[in-house]
């Protein structure tokens, strides 16, 4: 298992592996081997030396990761001890080739590009979970386009909505967040290669040629110039993670509230080791929602931490970029943890339409007070109608009777509203307004944009 116990609630196994020690080291080694090959292509490094460096850098597990970790802390940068270890490994086979390791690069080039390579791997995993989630939400929305339920405003019962519309609202936010994240991923997946001061002066007139060749070797975009002290691309990326994770958290909050015992309108999928209690066998806890909410609460602070480190000095910063690795890793792992957990929920969510309708009925028609007030206002005036309805609501609560039954006893109501209007007052399907139009518009906007 790649995840540490202390991170077990904050990272899925695939993302834990992406940011594992071996994976991080391999990303740095991949930069060094790609650099040697790129420089061989433009005639700086002998091809035999590039081949020897590539072979030596092929297997991160052959290096002493503990010793490298200690060395990184001492050096204040990951690049120095890694380059030193790689030089020694190459020297053992070819002393002349060892002299070409890390030619023209600086330690921050290694660290930044390694981080970008890790993000590239994470993009595929995170994107897959988001696609699972969106697909499941589309299915849920379609299945429950006519399933009526209580609307809830300020945590209180409100006029009815459909569960299909509610799910479409979740889907819209997740889809918009996914699209923003995809764009920010593409902007962030750029090579870092600038040498000592960001000019590649040590490579003379071949600096840009090496940069383009190196970017091609690594499958990254080549930026207009090195970005050592300009962290805006990464900042935009982590901010998009923050917004998306907030949207995922909103869905998890809704579902967990709907799972409360006294509400019981939906339920997460269960299974071995999922949702139980250590002391209460009857419980079916919203565990996947809990993991999503934990991520949504953790990420904003991490994003803030990254943003606070953006003010970096001159051409290379002191303490700014050095703070980013654990911050970015935690943000990405948390975002994917939320997406993966919520995808599991959406794919197996149990929905109880009968309980939703029963919860509507339990309001004794009070959620339709707006409806009758609007009908009466046209004839009695708004203020009179509001006062009449408010007084009747108080009687309904005190007597535990349906609002419509009490209204039917009032002459000022019965003389103005036909009996069938009062009889149908509490039919939720007749007071959904534009719910289905909104639901269809949300789904159309998502499916059409993804088909472009």
- As beta bridge partners, residue 350 has 267
Q: Is 69 a catalytic residue?
A: no
**Is 35 found in the same domain as 156?**
no
435 part of a folded domain: no
Q: 8, 197, 202, 277: which one is catalytic?
A: 277
Is 274's pLDDT higher than 70? no
**Is 247 found in the same domain as 144?**
yes
Among 151-160, 275-284, 286-295, 348-357, name the one with the lowest average pLDDT. 275-284
Helix axes 47-56, 21-41, angle to 10 degrees: 170
451 part of a folded domain: no
**Is 131 found in the same domain as 70?**
no
217 part of a folded domain: no
436 part of a folded domain: no
- Closest by CA to 426, choosing from 403, 445, 409, is 403
What domain range is 418 assigned to? 366-425
**Is 305 found in the same domain as 236?**
yes
Helix (H) or strand (E) holding 156: strand 156-162
Mean per-residue pLDDT, 361-365: 94
**Is 136 found in the same domain as 73?**
no
162 part of a folded domain: yes
**Is 395 found in the same domain as 351?**
no
Q: Is 271 helix (H, G, I), strand (E, B) or coil?
A: coil
Is 280's pLDDT higher than 50? no
**Is 87 found in the same domain as 65?**
yes
pLDDT in tens, 72-90: 999 989 999 999 999 999 9
**Is 411 found in the same domain as 343?**
no
The more confidently predicted of residues 273 and 48 is 48
**Is 310 found in the same domain as 346?**
yes
CATH number at residue 390: 1.10.40.30
Please say which residue of 307, 325, 358 terminates a domain: 358
**Is 320 found in the same domain as 337?**
yes
Residue 147 Ramachandran class (φ > 0 left, ψ -120 to 50 alpha, else beta): beta
pLDDT in tens, 221-269: 999 999 999 999 999 999 999 999 999 999 999 999 999 999 999 999 9
Q: How far is 397 from 388, CA to CA, in rounded Å?
A: 15
- Closest by CA to 41, choosing from 184, 270, 211, is 211
CATH number at residue 327: 1.20.200.10
pLDDT in tens, 146-180: 999 999 999 999 999 999 999 999 999 999 999 99
Q: How far is 321 from 307, CA to CA, in rounded Å?
A: 11
Residue 407 in contact with residue 134, Cβ under 8 Å? Answer: no
Please say which residue of 303, 337, 358 terminates a domain: 358
Q: Is 186 helix (H, G, I), strand (E, B) or coil?
A: helix
Number of domains forming the structure of the chain = 3
Helix (H) or strand (E) holding 219: none
332 part of a folded domain: yes
Residue 400 Ramachandran class (φ > 0 left, ψ -120 to 50 alpha, else beta): left
The more confidently predicted of residues 128 and 415 is 128
- Band of pLDDT at residue 277, cut at 50, 70 and 90: very low
**What is the DSSP track for 53-92?**
HHHHTS-GGGS-HHHHHHHHHHHTSSHHHHHHHHHHHHHH
Q: Quote the pLDDT of residue 420.
A: 64
Is 281's pLDDT higher than 80? no
**Is 146 found in the same domain as 90?**
no
Residue 293 in contact with residue 249, Cβ under 8 Å? Answer: yes
Please say which residue of 334, 358, 382 terminates a domain: 358
Look over the chain and give the mean of its residue pLDDT values, rounded to a whole number: 93
Q: 41, 298, 316, 439: which one is catalytic?
A: 316
Is 278's pLDDT higher than 50? no
**Is 170 found in the same domain as 39?**
no
Q: Is 15 helix (H, G, I), strand (E, B) or coil?
A: helix
pTM score, two decimals? Answer: 0.92
Q: Is 277 a catalytic residue?
A: yes
215 part of a folded domain: no
110 part of a folded domain: no
CATH number at residue 23: 1.10.275.10
């Amino acid at each position: 298992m790649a995840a540490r116990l202390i991170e077990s609630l904050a990272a899925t196994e695939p993302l834990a592996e992406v940011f594992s020690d071996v994976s991080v080291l391999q990303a740095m080694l991949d930069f060094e081997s790609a650099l040697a090959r790129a420089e061989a292509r433009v005639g700086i490094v002998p091809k035999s030396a590039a081949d020897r460096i590539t072979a030596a850098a092929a297997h991160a597990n052959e290096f002493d990761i503990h010793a490298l970790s200690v060395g990184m802390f001492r050096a204040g940068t990951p690049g120095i001890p890694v380059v030193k270890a790689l030089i020694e490994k190459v020297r053992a086979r070819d002393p002349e080739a060892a002299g070409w390791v890390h030619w023209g690069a600086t330690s921050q080039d290694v660290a930044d590009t390694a981080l970008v390579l890790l993000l590239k791997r994470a993009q595929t995993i995170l994107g897959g979970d988001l696609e699972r989630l969106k697909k499941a939400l589309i299915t849920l929305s379609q299945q429950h386009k006519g399933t009526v339920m209580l609307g809830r405003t300020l945590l209180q019962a409100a006029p009815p909505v459909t569960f299909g519309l509610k799910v479409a609202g979740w889907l819209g936010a997740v889809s918009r967040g996914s699209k923003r994240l995809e764009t920010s991923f593409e902007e962030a997946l750029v090579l870092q290669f600038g040498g000592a001061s960001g000019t590649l002066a040590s490579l003379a007139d071949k600096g840009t040629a090496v940069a383009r060749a190196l970017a091609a070797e690594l499958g990254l975009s080549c930026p207009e110039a090195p970005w050592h002290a300009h962290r805006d691309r990464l900042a935009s990326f982590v901010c998009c993670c923050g917004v998306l994770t907030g949207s995922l958290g909103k869905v998890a909050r809704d579902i967990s509230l709907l799972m409360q015992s006294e509400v019981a309108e939906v339920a997460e999928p269960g299974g071995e080791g999922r949702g139980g209690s250590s002391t209460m066998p009857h419980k079916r806890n919203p565990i996947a929602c809990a993991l999503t909410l934990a991520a949504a609460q953790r990420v904003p602070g991490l994003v803030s931490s990254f943003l606070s480190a953006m003010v970096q000095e001159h051409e290379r910063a002191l303490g700014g970029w050095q703070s980013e690795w654990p911050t970015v890793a935690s943000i990405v792992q948390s975002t994917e943890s939320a997406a993966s957990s919520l995808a599991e929920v959406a794919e197996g969510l149990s929905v109880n339409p009968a309980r939703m309708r029963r919860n509507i009925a339990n309001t004794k028609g009070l959620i339709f007070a707006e409806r009758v007030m609007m009908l009466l206002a046209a004839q009695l005036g708004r203020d009179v109608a509001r006062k009449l309805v408010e007084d009747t609501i108080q009687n309904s609560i005190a007597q535990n009777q349906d609002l419509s039954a009490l209204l039917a006893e009032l002459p000022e109501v019965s003389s103005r509203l036909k009996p069938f209007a009062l009889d149908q007052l509490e039919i939720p399907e007749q007071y959904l307004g534009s719910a289905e139009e909104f639901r269809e518009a949300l789904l159309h906007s998502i499916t059409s944009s993804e088909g472009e």
